[in-house]
C-alpha cells in the first residue's frame, strides 16, 4: 500500500483546500510554521551526514526542536558526498578537502546517526536519500545501490528512494535505466520521490520536472519487489505546475 504525501512547497497555496485535505501526510523541508498541524508529518532536509561541524549546524538550524515539538515521524537527509568539506554549485556537490574512504565514510555516518538518535524522539525514523551521480569526484562510491544497501543494514536506517536520482545515476554512469532501482533492497525503502530528470549536453540532471507514466511504471515495478507490510510514502517533487501535480497525484491514486 502507498500513502500519498504532499510537500509543503512554494505552490501549496495554489492547491484547493479539498485537495490538501485529501492527504494524510505533509512533508516539510524547513522548520517553517505548521499548516494543518493535525496531519501526519515527515521532514526531508538537504543536510549531509558527513559535512564538517554537523552537530553544531544541525542544532543551530532549528530542525531538532521542530521535530521534537511537532512529533515528526521521519527525518531524512543525505549520506554523501565523499568529502567533509564541500560546496554546492548548480545543485551539485563539489569536494574541497577531507576526502573520505568508504570505511571512513561509514564510520562517520554511524557516529552522526548515533548523535541524531540521542536527540530525536524514539518514534522519529531516520532515513537517507540516494544521491544523483555527477562527475565531480564528490560522488565517487556514494551513489551505488550496494552502498545504500550496506548503509541501511549496518546502521539500521531506512532509504528514501528518489527515482529521478536513480535515473540520473544510471545515465551518467552509462548503465541501463533502472539498474540502480533493480539492485536496491526494496524492503529498506520507506519513501519514494517522483519527478522527471532531464538530459542535457553535459549529461543527465535532476530537473524536478513533472513526472509521467515512466515514473509511475518504475514505481509499480518497484512495488512488486517490496515485501514489508508498512505503507510506502510517495511524494511528487515538482514545484511549478500546480494543476499538473494534482493531475499526476490522481493518476497515482488510480494506478494503485
DSSP for 38-97, written as a single string: TSEEEEEEEEETTSTTHHHHHHHHTHHHHHHHTT-SEEEEE---SEEEEEEETTEEEEEE
In the structure, what pLDDT confidence band is assigned to residue 184 with cuts at 50, 70 and 90? Answer: very high
pLDDT of 190 over the 90 cut: yes
Count of the separate structural domains present in the chain: 1
Give residue 159's domain range.
Answer: 2-255
pLDDT at 50: 97
pLDDT band at 37 (very low <50, low <70, confident <90, very high): very high
**158-184 mean pLDDT:** 94
Model confidence over 200-250: pLDDT tens digits? 998 999 999 999 999 999 999 999 999 888 899 999 999 999 999 999 999
pLDDT digits (tens, 9 = 90+) for 49-89: 999 999 999 989 999 899 999 999 999 999 999 999 999 99
CATH number at residue 245: 3.20.20.150
Q: What whole-number distance in Å separates Cα of residue 4 and Cα of residue 191?
A: 10
Query: pLDDT at residue 141 above 90?
Result: yes
Share of the chain above pLDDT 70, in %: 100
100-116 tens-digit pLDDT? 999 999 999 999 999 99
pLDDT at residue number 183: 96
Sequence-separated (6 or more) residues with CB below 8 Å from residue 38: none
Amino acid at each position: 500500500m502507498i500513502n500519498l504525501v504532499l510537500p509543503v512547497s512554494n505552490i501549496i497555496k495554489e492547491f484547493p483546500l479539498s485537495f490538501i485535505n485529501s492527504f494524510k501526510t505533509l512533508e516539510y523541508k524547513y522548520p517553517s510554521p505548521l499548516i494543518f498541524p493535525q496531519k501526519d508529518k515527515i521532514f526531508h532536509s538537504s543536510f549531509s551526514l558527513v559535512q564538517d561541524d554537523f552537530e553544531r549546524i544541525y542544532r543551530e538550524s532549528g530542525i531538532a526542536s521542530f521535530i521534537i515539538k511537532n512529533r515528526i515521524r521521519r527525518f531524512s537527509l543525505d549520506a554523501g558526498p565523499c568529502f567533509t568539506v564541500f560546496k554546492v554549485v548548480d545543485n551539485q556537490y563539489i569536494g574541497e578537502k577531507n576526502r573520505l574512504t568508504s570505511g571512513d565514510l561509514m564510520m562517520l555516518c554511524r557516529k552522526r546517526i548515533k548523535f541524531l538518535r540521542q536527540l530525536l524522539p524514539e518514534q522519529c525514523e531516520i532515513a537517507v536519500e540516494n544521491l544523483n551521480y555527477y562527475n565531480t569526484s564528490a560522488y565517487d562510491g556514494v551513489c551505488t545501490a550496494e552502498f545504500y544497501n550496506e548503509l541501511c543494514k549496518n546502521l539500521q536506517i531506512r532509504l528514501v528512494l528518489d527515482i529521478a536520482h536513480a535515473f540520473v545515476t544510471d545515465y551518467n554512469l552509462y548503465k541501463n535505466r533502472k539498474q540502480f532501482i533493480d539492485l536496491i533492497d526494496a524492503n529498506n525503502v520507506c519513501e519514494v520521490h517522483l519527478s522527471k530528470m532531464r538530459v542535457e549536453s553535459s549529461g543527465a540532471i535532476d530537473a524536478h520536472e513533472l513526472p509521467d507514466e515512466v515514473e509511475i511504471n518504475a514505481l509499480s515495478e518497484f512495488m512488486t519487489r517490496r515485501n514489508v507490510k508498512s505503507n510506502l510514502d510517495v511524494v511528487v517533487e515538482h514545484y511549478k505546475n500546480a494543476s499538473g501535480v494534482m493531475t499526476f497525484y490522481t493518476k497515482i491514486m488510480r494506478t494503485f
